[in-house]
Amino acid sequence: MEDLRNVGSIIQARFQMGITRIGSYRITYTDILSLYVEYKDIFCRLIYHFESEKPKPLIIDGGGCIGMSVLYFKSVYPEARIICFEPDAEIFKILQHNLTTNGLNDVTLINAGLAKDEGVLSFSSDNVDGGKIVQNSQGNMKIQTVRLSKYISGTIDFLKLNIEGQELAVLQEIEESGKLHNINEMVIEYHGWPDESQKLGELLTILDRNRFRYLIHDFDRETCSASKPPFRLHSQTTWFCLVYARRQDIS
């Protein structure tokens, strides 16, 4: 854990594979800075924490990366049932390795990306946590995509979506399938890409008309400085925020 406390050494050691321990977990990573940010946000700031009276809540993890969110969910709810999606084939291997290494063999892992339609799309992989679906000419690999509604047959206690810009399309697909009401709580990471249209308003509208109450939280300056004053919006501004939503009829 010493590596994760020294930001200077983290920046110098970027894009190198390594192994570390977080609590009782042994973790293989591809980039120490990405690991640091995930550790800080997931394990320290608890961005994916939720309360459940069920010992075996059903969780869908969209964008599992190397498995930090799955490890967190299992640390809180050891008997949780988890379905985890990760489209990048190389990152998926590390995800599998991290769960197996830590004795978590009861998680359903799916090597596919979540999107509005099933198919094969171009994907830009950065070998860390920022891979995303792109136009054909911009991708360096192809990935399989699936509809999330296919995996919703009953109540989903918690949905986590960190899918690099596909969050609105996936939410639309769940709504159109009539299964959005199956989800009790969710945290969605909204990605404001400068080369794409603004989608946060439409995302919030979907939540509102389906009787979800929501809260919005932007990241700290270290993760997202663009959303901090003094504001300077320009053509290349990229920003992120978290949308937490809970169905209003949940007691």
Convert 44-110 into a string of H (helix), E (strand) and C (coil): HCCCCCCCCCCCCCEEEEECCCCCHHHHHHHHHCCCCEEEEECCCHHHHHHHHHHHHHCCCCCCEEE
Token pair belonging to 166: 């596909």
Which has the higher per-residue pLDDT, 40 or 13?
40
pLDDT tens-digit profile of 196-233?
899 999 999 999 999 999 999 999 888 899 999 999 99
For domain 46-247, say whether CATH 3.40.50.150 is its number: yes
In the chain, domain spans: 46-247
Q: How confident is the model at residue 1 (pLDDT cuts 50, 70, 90)?
A: very low
- Residue 237, sorted as left (phi over 0), alpha (psi -120 to 50) or beta, turns out to be beta
pLDDT tens-digit profile of 113-167?
999 999 999 999 888 888 898 988 788 899 999 999 999 999 999 999 999 999 9
